[in-house]
A and B are shown apart, each in its own frame.
Chain A
């Protein structure tokens, strides 16, 4: 584990320096949070039907979404992108480490550092001024934290698949454009998943993306009881394993046929 932990640590340490980006991010997230909260408040006020989530729960969900935005696998890790595009991946293959593990450690840092930088300052803001509720109980809070770790690991497995695809396509933008809408819709970051139509709920529950945002947030709010946390964690773990296995075997094939041109 030593090389991977060292890479994670070095990368995190470097990314934690990006305070200006974090400040800009916080400002954006506050803006989006206010707008989304206003939209959903209007939506609840106009609808007589009983919704599967209360307005106050939805507001909490929205602010959690803003604070934990970094969990969403919407981009690629910049160093991995650059080494593949420039051919410096040759040097990474010269290290006595597992290439998948190396990329995974790096993307984990690239998710973790901005998560800390944004979530820590946004939480008190949202709790004090924007109507976000605290976790319903200590058990729910720990279940949420565990599922957040699960979400991080799952998100890294998704991003690493995009990295591996670069060995075949060189440019990640095509794959990312296909990935982002799917992730945004099915993770709950656009509309909380319980508010989606009945007929799509089965698919939504099956896909891995709910484990990124939706289920951890609902554990926080007690919308999923803490006693059911194991279901969420198992769902995350199974999907993470599946995606890691797919990524590893594709990487193995990619490296075998890899051609690094030029000197």
Chain B
């Protein structure tokens, strides 16, 4: 049985609109116009226990709204949502005791308290027995390597340290479900993989169900087996990462290093992506021309030093989808 069932979830916001300039501000005093923004438009999905699901979409697509509804802190206009047998916003307190949440842009730790005291206070709030809290904390501190910062006030931590502490804070009560909202935002090349590795281990070893919203597609590629794409409040695709590729035709890239910098390389079934000196990048769809055939027809005509074939980077795929959405 799925752990999370969402059916036809809808939510709209009323946003006050002000005409620009001074005159607009004055008119706004007398009559205010409102615009209705459909943040969620009949969103449905199911998530099983132990899944690690990526949730992506452009800014304002409805990702955070979905997460807030799932977390029980936002009441939708219509639709149902059942998490572990409960409707989150109806039984908020019982529900939130079983989930962990990290909003990457906000910390859940107390700014002026040493990290350790924040953890202890959270333990009290979740009524975690003292000896169990100590055990969980020992493990988390070890895995996340935050022992050295435990006695520092949160305001003195670097972003990477803070994020690791926030992750630890969200797991003190050992929740079976973890919501991560942009957990790698603003992190450097060393911190990101550390966070990813930790999330992966929580999922594989502890069986924690993870829902990860992100703009960082490396997060998705390295962690998620399944990805949901939302835009303008509608679910556009839901499936394995490879399905997302196929959604845009499953383009591949052929990168060629030519002997000669001046030859034109063309093929009827391939599109020129870039040309930089002797390096040429072509995009093609395996459905239209097989990789072997394309390479043969090019090597027949041109002298080639080296070549590589790759899947199109997921960034580009998603950027392409986002552009299509905005164009539509």
Contact = CB atoms under 8 A, between A and B. Distances in A.
A96 B64 contact: no
Contacts of A90: 68, 73, 103, 106
B45 interface: no
A3 B127 CA distance: 7
Contacts, number: 72
B93 A96 contact: yes
A91 B93 contact: no
A97 B103 CA distance: 19
B117 A93 contact: no
A95 B125 contact: yes
B73 A260 contact: yes
Contacts of A7: 121, 124-125
Contacts of B64: 262-263
Interface in B303-319: none
A263 B181 CA distance: 8
Interface residues of B, number: 32
Interface stretch (B94-102, B137-145, B258-266): B94-102
B233 interface: no
Interface in A89-133: 90-91, 93-98
Interface string A232-263: 00000000000000000000000011111011
A260 B104 contact: no
A262 B72 CA distance: 17
B48 interface: no
Nearest to A97: B125
A180 interface: no
A258 B101 CA distance: 18
A3 B124 contact: yes
B328 to A, nearest CB: 25
A14 interface: yes
B104 A263 contact: yes
B296 to A, nearest CB: 49
Nearest to B185: A263
A10 B127 contact: no
Contacts of B219: none
Contact of B103 (A3, A258, A263): A263
A46 interface: no
Given A98-B93, A263-B64, A6 B104 contact: no
Given A2-B127, A259-B74, A10 B117 contact: yes
Interface of A: 2-3, 6-7, 10, 14, 86-88, 90-91, 93-98, 256-260, 262-263
Query: Shortest 3 CB-CB distances between A and B: which pairs?
Result: A6-B124, A96-B97, A93-B73
